[in-house]
């Protein structure tokens, strides 16, 4: 009697363990979204100017604030007058620490830079058009310039910004537009390359191939899915990249096209498997009635099987894109990683996953760049999650009758 009771207790315990295990995947998805967003969200509370530094102007300057983009343009020499950023018509004189330090002798600055704050202050006061970029520690009470208030990075600058330059000083640029467009550019090109092949193989496997041939081909396609992405990247690097360089006479072969070709090969197994499964669900009665009406096998395939499987085929395409968007290593190795908005397939591009993989190792934990990269991860997470759910919905759509 007692023994039985204990057994039942054991069963309940095990049942709860099983129940908990069942909840793991849900928990992990929730945790991933929480962690990515909390790590990334700090970005929008961070100052656009490098930590420990401030931007200062002459007291007579009426300018209230500058966006990171404007700061970068000024120091790059592309904006030369205060009028262009809403101030008076005076030329801008950018001042960096080095400019000041080189004007004075070591004696004048002092062995421990004790006179430097004084000199900085004088330099600012002397130039009405000055825009200075100084370490915060050198600003003292007698400072005769005006420190510009630190602006935080806005959502608009992050999502609409056309420049990704996280190591730029004085103001790092975190515009993700080129990365998002680069990712979509490469992925969609990859699917366009993969689709004809994927459909052909799916039709061949589902309708034409004998059982024997199918039994040989299926495991080989699975193997194609099993090869590690870093091996695809290596193959792309030593075969496809030099090939593209010599065919198109390019200075470098690491281009969007190289990425698209490698991704096409990698997305093929997904497209083939999902599309084939969809075609296989066509009821035999539908196919037989088509054949009985005198249609050939091919007519039956494109008039009956493909329309019937169309939602599954759409799901295959969507899942293929999802696979391509998230692929990291192979893309990192063959696309050249230039963060510019893509215009052609024969230029280098940079994708979101490749950016994370390339830059996270160099960014200090909690830094603005670190936060910007986690935000990229969050974008990628939402994008791929949305694609998974979208594919699921497409698959459930009512079949064409």
Site for other proteins in 44-83 (CB under 8 A): none
Task: Give 361 or 398: the residue with its C-beta nearer to other proteins.
Answer: 361
197 near other proteins, rule: CB under 8 A: yes
151 near other proteins, rule: CB under 8 A: no
CB of 368 to other proteins, least distance (A): 16
Q: Considering only 83-91, 105-113, 226-234, 280-288, which stretch makes contact with other proteins by CB under 8 A?
A: 226-234
298 near other proteins, rule: CB under 8 A: yes
Number of residues that bind other proteins (CB under 8 A): 82
Site for other proteins in 326-365 (CB under 8 A): 326-329, 333, 353, 356-357, 360-361, 365
Among 227, 289, 303, 344, binds other proteins (CB under 8 A): 227
Task: Give 161 or 236: the residue with its C-beta nearer to other proteins.
Answer: 236
18 near other proteins, rule: CB under 8 A: yes
CB of 85 to other proteins, least distance (A): 36
Site for other proteins in 228-267 (CB under 8 A): 228-235, 237-239, 265
Task: Give 23 or 110: the residue with its C-beta nearer to other proteins.
Answer: 23
What is the 3-state secondary structure of the chain?
A: CHHHHHHHHHHHHHHHHHHHHHHHHHHHHHHHHHHHHHHHHHHHHCECECCCEEEEECCCCCCCCCCHHHHHHHHHCCCCEHHHHCCCCCECEEEEHHHHHHHCCHHHHCCCCCCHHHHHHHHHHHCCCEEEEEEHHHCCCCCCCEECCCCECCHHHHHHCCCEECCCCCECEECCHHHHHHHHHHHHHHHHHHHHHHHHHHHHHHHHCCHHHHHHHHHHHHHHHHCCHHHHHHHHHHHHHHHHHHHHCCCCCCCHHHHHHHHHHHHHHHHHHHHHHHHHCCCHHHHHHHHHCCCCHHHHHHHHHHHHCHHHHHHHHHHHHHHHHHCCHHHHHHCECCCCCCCCCCCCECCHHHHHHHHCCCCCCCCHHHHHHHHHHHHHHHHHHHHHHHHHHHHHCCCCC
223 near other proteins, rule: CB under 8 A: yes
């Amino acid at each position: 009697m007692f023994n039985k009771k204990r057994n039942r207790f054991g069963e309940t315990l095990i049942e709860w363990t099983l129940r908990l295990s069942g909840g793991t995947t849900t928990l992990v998805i929730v945790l991933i979204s929480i962690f990515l967003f909390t790590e990334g969200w700090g970005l929008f509370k961070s100052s656009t100017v490098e930590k420990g530094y401030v931007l200062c102007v002459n007291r007579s300057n009426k300018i209230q604030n500058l966006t990171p983009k404007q700061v970068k343009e000024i120091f790059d020499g592309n904006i030369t007058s205060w009028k262009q950023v809403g101030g008076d018509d005076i030329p801008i004189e950018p001042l960096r620490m080095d400019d000041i330090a080189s004007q004075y002798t070591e004696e004048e600055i002092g062995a421990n830079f004790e006179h430097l704050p004084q000199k900085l202050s004088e330099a600012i006061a002397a130039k009405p058009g000055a825009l200075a970029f100084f370490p915060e520690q050198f600003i003292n009470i007698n400072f005769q310039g005006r420190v510009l208030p630190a602006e935080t990075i806005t959502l608009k600058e992050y999502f609409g910004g056309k420049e990704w330059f996280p190591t730029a000083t004085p103001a790092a640029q975190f515009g993700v537009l080129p990365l998002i467009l680069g990712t979509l550019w490469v992925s969609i090109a990859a699917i366009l390359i993969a689709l004809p092949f994927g459909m052909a193989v799916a039709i061949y496997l589902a309708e034409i191939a004998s059982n024997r041939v199918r039994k040989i081909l299926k495991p080989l396609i699975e193997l194609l899915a099993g090869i590690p992405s870093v091996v695809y990247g290596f193959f792309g690097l030593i075969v496809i990249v030099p090939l593209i360089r010599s065919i198109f006479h390019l200075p470098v072969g690491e281009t969007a096209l190289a990425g698209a070709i490698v991704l096409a090969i990698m997305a093929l197994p997904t497209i083939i498997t999902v599309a084939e499964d969809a075609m296989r669900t066509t009821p035999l009665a539908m196919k037989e009635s088509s054949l009985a009406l005198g249609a050939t096998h091919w007519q039956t395939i494109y008039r009956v099987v493909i329309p019937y499987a169309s939602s599954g085929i759409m799901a295959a395409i969507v899942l293929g894109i999802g696979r391509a968007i998230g692929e990291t290593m192979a893309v990192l190795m063959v696309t050249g990683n230039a963060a510019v908005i893509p215009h052609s397939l024969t230029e280098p591009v940079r994708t979101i996953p490749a950016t994370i993989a390339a830059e996270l190792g160099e960014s200090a934990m909690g830094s603005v760049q670190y936060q910007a990269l986690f935000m990229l991860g969050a974008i990628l997470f939402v994008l791929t999650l949305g694609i998974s759910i979208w594919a699921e919905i497409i698959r459930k759509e009512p079949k064409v009758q």
